[in-house]
Amino acid sequence: MSRKPNMESSIYLGSDGWWHGRVTMGVKPDGSPDRRHRRARTEPEVTRKVRALEKLRDEKRAPKAGRVPTVAQWMNTYLTTIASLKLKPRSLDDYWSKTRNDIVPGVGQHRLNKLEPEHLETMYAAMLSKGHAPSHVLKVHRILSRALKIAHRRRMIVENVAVLVDPPTVDETETNPFTQEEARAFLEAAVKRPTFVRWLVGVGMGFRQGETLGMRWKYVDLEAGLFHPRWQLQRLTWKHGCADPHACGERLHRFEPCPADCTTHKGYKRGCPKPCGKECTRHASVCPDRKGGGLAFTRPKTKKSWQPVPIPPPFIPPLRDLRELQEQQRAAAPELWQNFDVVFARPDGRPLDPRQDWEEFKELLEEAGIDDRRLYDGSRHTAGTILNELGVPLVTIMEILRHTQVTQTRRYVKGRSEQSRDAMRRMGDAFLPQVPSQTEAPAPAPVETRTETTGTRAARDRRRRRIR
């Protein structure tokens, strides 16, 4: 019996009644041969499987040897060692949250190479039926698709099945910025509070909440009239620094859902928290070695966001007064003052809490008699829209809001306002004839007559009969 050449596959009928195929794929990292096994009930079926594996080998697309991890295992590896090197801390927290709450419960137990498009479609449908917004489902899809793309690059799987799935369609969020009258009413309500300058800057200059609360005096040049937004303030999720996160949060684990009449979490704005999983590693806020959480100063998302912004001259006197007030507070209680150098600080020098800042915004809306809306609408979208109403070119608005593309600025600027009305008024005056008023005397009604005119069809017929 002649020996088969190297890299040639073998197909045979085993004593168990199954047809088996052995394919040589190459060499494992430890130097041993990499032989893959396929089996089927019939010879044509196992031959098809062997040929498909050979094709992957020849095209250098074959998955690596070894047991393929589950989706849950790979997402943990991806977020811990890959995504953490590129993502901003707040974005990474969001990735972890959606992985823990949506991806792992939905498809976490599937092996990467066994994951099918139908599994993802079923998960997305279940999320929508539970009341999740389509934008939330789309974000989950993008996170999972990115993780599977990396796995495909590393030849852990043959194909990224997420690209075969159509995620839910998301309509662009309708913005609701302040009108000029509403902006004045909002600031008139805010002027009664010690945080008035914070809202003056937020509404009048279009800064993001994190950029406003993270602004430091070191980067404010009142002489030149420039803001340098180099930092932003964000609340990050705490992470365990201990060796056993599950045991660390043991006293806070709750594996059963709360009863309908729960009083323990009565004051929670978001309702009772979800039950813990069997291997829960949350509750890092009580870890004695916790790290990377709480209020933290982080860099803005893009380099464009670092671009200095001119300060409107009327804003400079209130900023000077605010700095003098902080100096007086520091001198009055030097032992209690915490020097964070932030422009908008609490009486002891600490930065303003973003949650309390959001709650104050809602209170000011109610005091000013303005309907409810997002904080982003009342600051960044409002600044862009009012600048557009004042006739500022779109490219200049892009520079003020520090966008990288003018198309992004167009989404921030709502095309309403007096400009549209004035344009349509001039459009009508350009070609529409003078229309008489409805209040003028009506024209006399036509008088009915029984005599036929010479132009009627009957008169023409009579003339033809006479000619004949």
pLDDT in tens, 337-353: 999 999 999 999 999 99
Give the residue-averaged pLDDT of 32-41: 86
The Cα-based distances of 192 to 6, 186, 379 in angstroms read: 85, 11, 19
Q: What is the pLDDT of residue 359?
A: 94
Q: Ramachandran region of residue 271, left (φ > 0), alpha (ψ -120 to 50) or beta? A: left
Is the predicted pLDDT of residue 108 greater than 60, yes or no?
Answer: yes
Predicted pLDDT at 439? 57
Q: Which of 87-91, 141-145, 427-431 reaches the highest mean pLDDT? A: 141-145
Q: What is the DSSP letter of 150?
A: H
Q: Which of 143-157, 170-184, 277-291, 447-461 has the highest mean pLDDT?
A: 143-157
Q: Is the pLDDT at 452 greater than 60, yes or no?
A: no
- Taking the mean position of all CA atoms in its chain, how far away is CA 35? 45
**Rounded to an integer, what distance in angstroms lies between the CA atom of residue 153 and that of residue 60?**
11
Cα-only R_g, the chain: 35
The answer to which of 50-54, 86-90, 436-440 has the lowest mean pLDDT is 436-440
Over residues 40-64, the pLDDT tens digits come to: 999 999 999 999 888 888 877 777 7
Task: Indicate whether 111 pLDDT > 80.
Answer: yes
CA distance 417 to 424: 11
Q: Strands across the sheet with 19-27, in order?
A: 10-13, 19-27, 33-40
318 and 200 in contact (C-beta within 8 Å)? Answer: yes
How many CA atoms does the CB half-sphere of 148 hold within 13 Å?
Answer: 29
Above 80 in pLDDT, residue 440? no
Q: 152 pLDDT exceeds 60?
A: yes
pLDDT of residue 403: 87
- Is residue 326 over pLDDT 90? yes
pLDDT given at position 102: 94
Name the range with the highest mean pLDDT among 43-47, 255-259, 405-409: 43-47
pLDDT of residue 426: 76
Give Dmax (Cα) for the chain: 125
Q: Output the pLDDT for position 435.
A: 57
Q: Is a pLDDT exceeding 70 seen at residue 179? A: yes
Question: For residue 163, what is the DSSP state?
Answer: G
pTM: 0.71
Q: Residue 66 has what DSSP assignment?
A: S
Segment among 61-65, 177-181, 213-217, 239-243 with least mean pLDDT: 61-65
Task: Quote the strand ranges of 218-341, DSSP E.
Answer: 220-221, 226-227, 232-236, 294-298, 309-310
Q: Which is more confidently placed, 414 or 306?
A: 306
User: b vs e for 167-201, b when ≥16 Cβ sit within 10 Å of the residue's Cβ?
Assistant: bbeeeeeebbbbbeebbebbbebbeeeebbbbbbb
Alpha-carbon distance values, 396 to 57, 150, 190, 348 (Å)? 55, 39, 28, 38
pLDDT tens by residue, 181-233: 999 999 999 999 999 999 999 998 989 999 999 999 999 999 999 999 999 99
Residue type, 335: E
Residue % of the chain over a pLDDT of 90 = 44
Beta strand pairing call for 33-40 and 220-221: unpaired
The residues near 52 (Cβ < 8 Å, ≥ 6 apart) are none
Residue 3 has pLDDT above 80, yes or no: no
pLDDT (0 to 100) of residue 171: 78
What three-state secondary structure class fits 390?
coil
Phi, psi for 33 (deg, rounded to 5): -65, 145
Judge whether residue 1 has pLDDT over 50: no
Q: Pick the more confident residue, 348 or 464.
A: 348
Q: Give the least confident one: 102-106, 185-189, 257-261.
A: 257-261
Look over the chain and give the mean of its residue pLDDT values, rounded to a whole number: 85
Q: How confident is the model at residue 419 (pLDDT cuts 50, 70, 90)?
A: low
Q: How far apart are the C-alpha atoms of 206 and 376, rounded to whole Å?
A: 9
Per-residue model confidence (pLDDT) at position 65: 66
Residue 298 main-chain phi, psi, to 5 deg: -125, 160
